[in-house]
Chains A and B, each alone.
Chain A
């Protein structure tokens, strides 16, 4: 029995979520192989070979995989995956995009966003925006799974020495074409991997006011997130959204500023170790999950907080 892990990368380096996915693979047991599909992705493959506990790295280096188009990647994964008991991908937009497609090609179900491995065929996953935890058992011969990174501690990125092996010819489905990509630039840590996250909601009032959160975040070495209300109001770009339909985070410290705490938002952050809520409405639902709550005007509190930390 061996587990195939799909590596998340930008051709040059691996994304952090890959290390959490390898951790889930190790919890399942058996050999862990990592597939690096990309274009000019040798550097990412070398990085994958160093992950602790990985025994083999498969490299599919071809222009067809340059932009991780699901049509092409799923064909590759379904083909290679036939030799494995489990196929794992991180529950990122890349993983969510191709994994169900690969599962359907293999005629098996897919298990989304597992947070715990009970045994090789039984897993825990949240449903209803995290308001219930389901324990599910798969009867499929190949288990295709996406892994919620915050549910598993990352394995060490170094210490391994896996063999790197190139895999055969690539297939281009020819049905889709990459046009362009616009990535938001930020010097702050990545939201899903940050140890501290400072998030703003509708209470911030406008996009300009987010400056006080950026300033606090920089002092703390934190990432900045937002609620859906703040994104919909156009205060900040949507890749900052934390919640059921945005990113799932579980940092050491989550500071919710001007966020009421709708179910949808809580689904994205309630596994944080310590939650701090700053809100002028003392009835706001966010206070029911916050370890420390401070009722007051965020425009007074946030600058004071920045001075004191």
Chain B
């Protein structure tokens, strides 16, 4: 079966982001960018399914700027077979990404679509669910275990308070949680080979999708600073402070 994996180019998770002085967003110039960590897990899961002989082809898709080709190449170096970039310089929100992915699903007919559960920039946690809704597919969000057997996907999901297992008809959308797997590193020969794999570049207009943002960002500010605390010397002092000063115990 064919698997489609969506990846997003985001600020590297180790970077401590800074809000721009004009409050229009965060500083992205000259900041290290990478594949969103949850998307890396999605790629890894697709590659593992291919290694097990369940998936025959992995198509990796990204919606974003021209530079997102780097992240598609990274996914190819990890094992994806070909790539599609929907190139746009505009801000693009989950609903629009979901609509573009739906069009790509219509054309590619994957049996399994794997996305990360959320991107660490917008922290939205929406795109997979929205794609599943638009395509009429079942969804297995926050997946910690994924098995494909007997024409179904069996997904164990991380939920508040524990875990839940659901069985999904295929085609289905699965979004990855941290514990689904540990992504591998790309080996140098594979990075070289990835450069030769096919990568189609499209635009939102090619799919006839209106990507105008529905939600406008009016301003972005740094969070309120916590006032500096103190270091205490002993446990007695700590308990006294908590009882008398902070009055929390």
Q: List residues of A whose CB falls within 8 A of some B CB.
A: 67, 69-71, 74, 92-94, 96-105, 107-113, 122, 126-140, 173-184, 192, 196, 220, 228, 231-232, 237-239, 244-245, 247, 252-253, 263-264, 270, 273-276, 282, 287, 289-295, 301, 304-305, 308-309
Contacts and interface: CB of A to CB of B under 8 A. Distances in A.
Contacts of A131: 16-17, 19, 26, 222-223
A239 B95 contact: no
A263 B236 contact: no
Interface footprint category on B: 35 or more
B17 A238 contact: no
Contacts of B219: 134-135
B200 interface: no
Contacts, number: 253
B208 to A, nearest CB: 15
Nearest to A190: B161
A249 B133 CA distance: 30
A254 B164 CA distance: 29
Interface string B219-243: 1111100100111111110110110
A133 B222 contact: yes
Contact of B126 (A94, A103, A140, A295): A103
Interface of B: 11, 13, 16-17, 19, 26, 93-95, 98, 117-118, 120-127, 129-134, 136-142, 144, 154, 157-169, 172, 177-179, 213-223, 226, 229-236, 238-239, 241-242, 246, 248-249
A231 B178 CA distance: 11
A305 B239 contact: yes
B229 A196 contact: no
A290 to B, nearest CB: 5
Contact of B95 (A108, A136, A173, A175): A108
20 contacts: A69-B166, A70-B132, A71-B132, A93-B157, A101-B139, A126-B223, A131-B222, A135-B219, A136-B216, A137-B215, A140-B214, A175-B168, A180-B164, A183-B161, A239-B159, A244-B120, A253-B248, A263-B13, A294-B231, A305-B238
A244 B13 CA distance: 11
Given A100-B133, A109-B93, A253-B248, A133 B231 contact: no
A177 B170 CA distance: 12
A274 B133 contact: no
Contacts of B234: 294
B215 A100 contact: no
A108 B242 contact: no
A108 B163 CA distance: 30
Given A104-B98, A238-B179, A252-B248, A112 B123 contact: yes
A132 B215 contact: no
B221 A132 contact: yes
Contacts of A71: 132, 138-139
Given A92-B160, A134-B217, A176-B168, 15 more contacts: A70-B129, A98-B129, A101-B139, A103-B133, A104-B95, A110-B126, A126-B123, A129-B123, A176-B139, A181-B159, A182-B164, A239-B161, A292-B231, A292-B242, A305-B238
